[in-house]
Amino acid sequence: MKFPYGICDFRKIVTKGYYYCDRTDRIPKLEKHEYALFLRPRRFGKSLLLSMLINYYDLGRKDQFDEIFGKLKIGRNPTSLRNQFLVLEWDFSCIDPMGTAKDIRRVLHDHVNERIKRFIVTYREYLNIEIEIDPNNTINSINSLITSVEESGHPIYLFIDEYDNFANEVMMGVRRESNDLYEALVYEEGPLKTLFKVVKSSTKESVFDRIFITGVSPVVMSDITSGYNIGKNIYQRPMFNDLCGFNEAEIKEIVDDIADECDLKKQDAENALTMMRIYYNGSLFSRDAEKPVYNPTLAFYFLEIFEENCRFPYEMLDDNLATDEAKLRYVAQLPQGRNLLLDMIKDRHETVIGGLAKRFGIQEMLTDQSKDKKFLASFLYYFGVLTNAGETETGDIVLRVPNLVIYGLYIERIIRMLLPEPIERDDGKLAAKQLYQSGDMKSLCKFIETQYFQVFHNADYKWANELTVKTAFLTLLYHDNLYIMDSELEIGRGVADLVMIIRPDMRRFKILDILIEFKYVKLKDAELSGEQAKKLSLEELQKLPLMKSAMDEAKNQLKRYGDALEKKYKNLRLRRYAVVSLGFERLWWKEEV
């Protein structure tokens, strides 16, 4: 197979033998929306979708229809609008957000003018009136284009890719000082708003007959609404949930083909599918959609390496997706962000909000206003690090971390947030390594007692429990290159606290499978102060009735969950540990055989 990793040229993919998951049957449904806004997280296949639509509607490619679409679903039953438009394409990811407002305006105008020049070359045989390019004002160039196209009798289909790219750069902190700059570009008569006003005006005469816009979030659209209030958001429509991305049946078919090509066992194919499901599946863009989808970039990253080497990639996170951690870094800096991120690695990786914030502009993003839980969770949803997970009985929306590769980004951000000094993180990771390499729990517990607990200030006591303690252990132990890791894993009728199962392809290493159960005893319940707890000897700590009771409960759960894991997985090198915390002061641990 040839996987089109990083390729978004639709014609090249379908004519050069690359794998293509046919989504052309959605074209009739898309045609019901004349001015569509389609949002998806970055690297989710939006540009390829745009390329497919351009090839389908472009009047200049009419003679190539059979070559491009003949073997696809739409080729067998095309719509009446196929190859009926002059296509104009803008790509705002080309707009450099650095410099002054005047600099950015110039780059924007130059980009649009260059695309109009390309339009002139492509469609010169259809244009009888010359289009005049104004190098100083692209609005004049567009008006000249409109005049020429009106006379030609052929409407324009306008495609805008990454329409919100500039706003994203601002939000991520590239230009955090640039409130005035953003306002100069978007508000009043700024070039972005003016540009969209001209686009909207042209629809009245059906010159820009159809418009399809892709992006990541609705931020910019919120700010320019008065300039462009005709767009229809279709990103949450259930029929478009898998417009970009793969479902599991499609992934399974490819995995099985590769397994056959590599002469692998059936179990190897099942292991590959399990790995991809855990790490890459889970994105649900519509509350009414039935099945989640796999991120296509991550899927191709895995499948390409799997086919080339007949084994899984060592790194499950593709470097091209690692930059999504910047969104979590932004949230971590906000007043309510810290607790939200901590919540997402507790409580089954879910959060509940009353509804998505559909309209919020850059002013709210750049100031401390309106950054409540709904705002922050919605922000993470649009950028793909949270996804739909259903509804509560009272109608609230449940959002969750979509998969393990995104969960790893949360872990990385949280450990940097709680242990900002690199040397501290290195010491903690070294202590964690001693546990899963040799079974040494003592070093890890000592590090958490003396280092990690110091970062949990007094305010954290009001929400402290075993999940808080588990967070400290999890951030240090997390290692998805070696382990399939889960917290709050359902086993039988119970839920195990922290499970580290060695990846099937990593069992060649001399490392251990790990199961840990946590319990937490409040200082208040033990009638002790923090200073008194620190002075207790280990023997005195173990004699405390609440500590002993908690340890007994943890040991009973270890046996039940450990036996279930041994039964589910064969040939485990499982080590079981019970850890009881007395406030954020002391830890008592035991290994159960």
Strand partners, 243: none
Q: Is the pLDDT of residue 87 over 70?
A: yes
Helix axes 404-418, 337-344, angle to 10 degrees: 130
Query: Which residue's structure tokens are 């607790």?
Result: 339
- Higher pLDDT: 405 or 171? It is 405
pLDDT of residue 204: 76
- Per-residue pLDDT, 365: 61
Provide the pLDDT for residue 176. 47
Has residue 187 got a pLDDT over 70? no
Res. 274 pLDDT band, cuts 50 70 90: very high
| CA-wise closest residue to 555 among 573, 568, 542, 571 | 542
The pLDDT score that the predictor gives to residue 69 is: 98
User: pLDDT, tens digit, for every residue of 467-478?
Assistant: 788 889 999 999
Tell me how crowded residue 195 is: count the other CB atoms within 10 A of its CB.
21
Secondary structure letter of residue 162 according to DSSP: S
* pLDDT at residue 573 in the model: 96
| 342-360: average pLDDT | 79
Dist CA 224 CA 226 (whole Å): 6
pLDDT at 174: 45
pLDDT at 197: 84
Q: Share the mean pLDDT of the chain.
A: 88
The answer to whether residues 157 and 87 touch, using CB atoms and an 8 Å cutoff, is yes
- In angstroms, the CA 336 to CA 326 distance is 17
DSSP string, 352-410: EESS------HHHHHSSTT-SHHHHHHHHHHTTSSEEEEE-TTSPEEEE--SHHHHHHH
101: buried, middle or exposed (CB in 10 Å: 19+, 13-18, 0-12)?
A: middle
576 pLDDT above the threshold of 50: yes
Predicted confidence (pLDDT) at residue 460 exceeds the cutoff of 80: no
Which candidate, 37, 34, 80, places its Cα nearest to that of 57? 80
DSSP strands (E only) in 114-251: 156-161, 208-215, 232-233
Share of the chain above pLDDT 70, in %: 89
Match 């495609």 to its residue by tokens: 159
DSSP one-letter code for 483:
E
Sheet containing 387-391: which strands, arranged edge to edge?
A: 350-353, 397-400, 387-391
Confidence of residue 119 (pLDDT cuts 50, 70, 90): very high
Can you tell me which residue has the tokens 């790219």? 165
- pLDDT in the model for residue 226: 61
Phi-psi domain of 263 (left: phi exceeds 0; alpha: psi -120 through 50; beta: other) = left
- Residue 52 is given by DSSP the state H
Which domains, ranges and CATH numbers included, belong to the chain? 10-240 (3.40.50), 248-282+293-322 (no CATH), 324-418 (no CATH), 421-593 (no CATH)
Q: Report pLDDT digits (tens) over 144-186.
A: 999 999 999 899 999 999 988 876 776 565 444 555 666 666 6
Q: Is residue 437 scored above 60 in pLDDT?
A: yes
pLDDT at 175: 44
The reported pLDDT for the residue numbered 359 is 65
